[in-house]
Amino acid sequence: MKDYIHYKGYYGSVHFDEDDVIFHGKIEFIRALVTYEATDAKGLKKAFQEAVNDYLDVCKLKKLEPEKPFKGSLNVRLGSELHRRVAIAAEQNSLTINKFIASALERAVK
């Protein structure tokens, strides 16, 4: 499992390169590639925060909306048979498919 650091709603990965003796990472859960590195853990945290701030500044300068991780929507491909079973189960429980799936996922990640 990866380790993450968190700042302003963004998550950054934490990796150690044994050969180069350096910590590095990237902002996770967005499409833009934003990386950072440092020689120690405190430096990596600072570099991550600076990378997030730089990313937000560049977006502002270019008048672009910054990507936000975890927007709350997600496209899931179920296959027709599972889709059918989910739709029937949702209907039987008086739920929308979205609410049924959200409820099942909530139980799965607890």
The string of pLDDT tens digits covering residues 58-89 is 999 999 999 999 988 888 999 999 999 999 99
- Which has the closest alpha carbon to 4: 26, 21, 20? 26
Q: Measured between alpha carbons, how far is 62 from 44 in angstroms, rounded to an integer?
A: 26
pTM over 0.85: no
Q: Measured between alpha carbons, how far is 92 from 85 in angstroms, rounded to an integer?
A: 11
Q: How confident is the model at residue 1 (pLDDT cuts 50, 70, 90)?
A: very low
Average pLDDT, the chain: 95
